């Protein structure tokens, strides 16, 4: 099972060379950042654990990866979702279908009478977690300190590649959901090679939300990556023509990207390049391609073939 040491490829786009760290080539069940975030759980034994508990979107990459982790470890995965769309429950596909195939139990909180208006995280902490060693709780997107060792391994690989290339500096760019990968990468580079810096953009919830996520993991703001503000506000999960067009544009380089985070990531990076960014850039491909099975048909239904 390949969970480390991915190649870096160069693409030419918008009259610029951009390096791409191909974490999409990691094992499909732990594609991209989930392989990094969940490495600690894969590499350590948890003899008392019987039940893995997580939450997020019913099409989240983390749902599939947690289901694979539970299957490998012999655990039961209980994954809580705020709402399960009728269409998806009737036509399972992508991460949702793969997780079901791995034996995941996906619980729709909108159907739980004892929810009492609580958000998913609060419901789990107040209603589900007992403090028993038999339960292992992973917050949404793997946003927890257990993610740091695996992301540090990614940082080691990037620094080794930078030395091989003889680069004096490097900008690592990635789009962020919870910001866990970006934060722990920045923290690693500050400790080991301050000539490497991390820029990111907020795909979920806006810049203020992302800063809040950073602070929960690392209160020291000097350790936080730089958040690049976008000219336009985009709502997470909404189908934008600009996203669809950008996805086609970058996928034409010969590397397939995913449709939920990468379009905004590349729009943001293009904005930076057009504003005069001239240092070497490494774009982190975080995998998640299984999600395209559900996202691409939605785009095609709305905008047709481009």
How confident is the model over 79-123, as pLDDT tens digits?
A: 999 999 999 999 999 999 999 999 999 999 999 999 999 999 999
For domain 36-143, give the fold.
Answer: Rossmann fold (3.40.50)
Tell me: domain 8-33+146-303, CATH 3.40.50.1100, correct? yes
Residue among 237, 261, 228 at smallest CA distance from 247: 261
Cβ partners under 8 Å of residue 222, min gap 6: 190
Q: Do domains 8-33+146-303 and 36-143 have the same CATH topology?
A: yes
State pLDDT tens for residues 167-226. 999 999 999 999 999 999 999 999 999 999 999 999 998 999 999 999 999 999 999 999
Position 31 scores a pLDDT of 72
| Nearby residues of 42 by Cβ (< 8 Å), 6 or more positions away | 3, 30, 69, 72
Residue ranges covered by each domain of the chain: 8-33+146-303, 36-143
Pairing of strands 16-22, 8-13: antiparallel
Reported as a single tens digit per residue, the pLDDT across 28-75 is 888 778 999 999 999 999 999 999 999 999 999 999 999 999 999 999
With beta carbons less than 8 A apart as the criterion, state whether 186 and 193 touch. no
Residue 142 has pLDDT above 80, yes or no: yes
């Amino acid at each position: 099972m390949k969970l480390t040491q991915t190649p870096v490829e160069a693409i030419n786009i918008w009259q610029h060379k951009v390096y791409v760290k191909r974490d999409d080539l990691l094992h499909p069940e732990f594609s991209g950042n989930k392989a990094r975030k969940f490495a600690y759980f894969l590499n350590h034994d948890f003899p008392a654990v019987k039940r893995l508990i997580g939450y997020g979107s019913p099409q989240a990459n983390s749902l599939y990866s947690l289901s694979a982790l539970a299957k490998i470890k012999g655990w039961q995965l209980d994954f809580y979702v705020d709402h399960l769309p009728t269409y998806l429950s009737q036509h399972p596909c992508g991460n949702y279908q793969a997780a079901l195939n791995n034996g995941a139990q996906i619980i729709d909180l909108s159907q739980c009478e004892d929810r009492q208006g609580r958000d998913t995280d609060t419901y789990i902490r107040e209603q589900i977690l007992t403090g028993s060693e038999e339960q292992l709780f992973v917050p949404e997107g793997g946003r927890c300190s257990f993610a740091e060792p695996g992301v540090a391994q990614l940082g080691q690989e990037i620094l080794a590649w930078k030395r091989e290339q003889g680069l004096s500096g490097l900008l690592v760019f990635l789009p962020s959901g919870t910001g866990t990968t970006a934060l722990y990468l920045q923290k690693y580079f500050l400790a080991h090679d301050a000539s490497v810096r991390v820029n990111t953009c907020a795909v979920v919830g806006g810049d203020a939300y992302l800063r809040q996520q950073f602070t929960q993991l690392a209160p020291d703001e000097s350790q936080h990556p730089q958040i690049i503000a976008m000219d336009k506000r985009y709502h997470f999960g909404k189908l934008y023509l600009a996203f669809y067009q950008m996805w086609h544009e970058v996928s034409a380089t010969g590397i397939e990207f995913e449709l939920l985070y990468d379009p905004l990531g590349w729009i943001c990076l293009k904005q930076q390049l057009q504003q005069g960014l001239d240092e070497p850039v490494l774009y982190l491909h975080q995998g998640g391609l299984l999600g395209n099975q559900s996202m691409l048909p939605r785009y095609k239904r709305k905008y047709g073939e481009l």
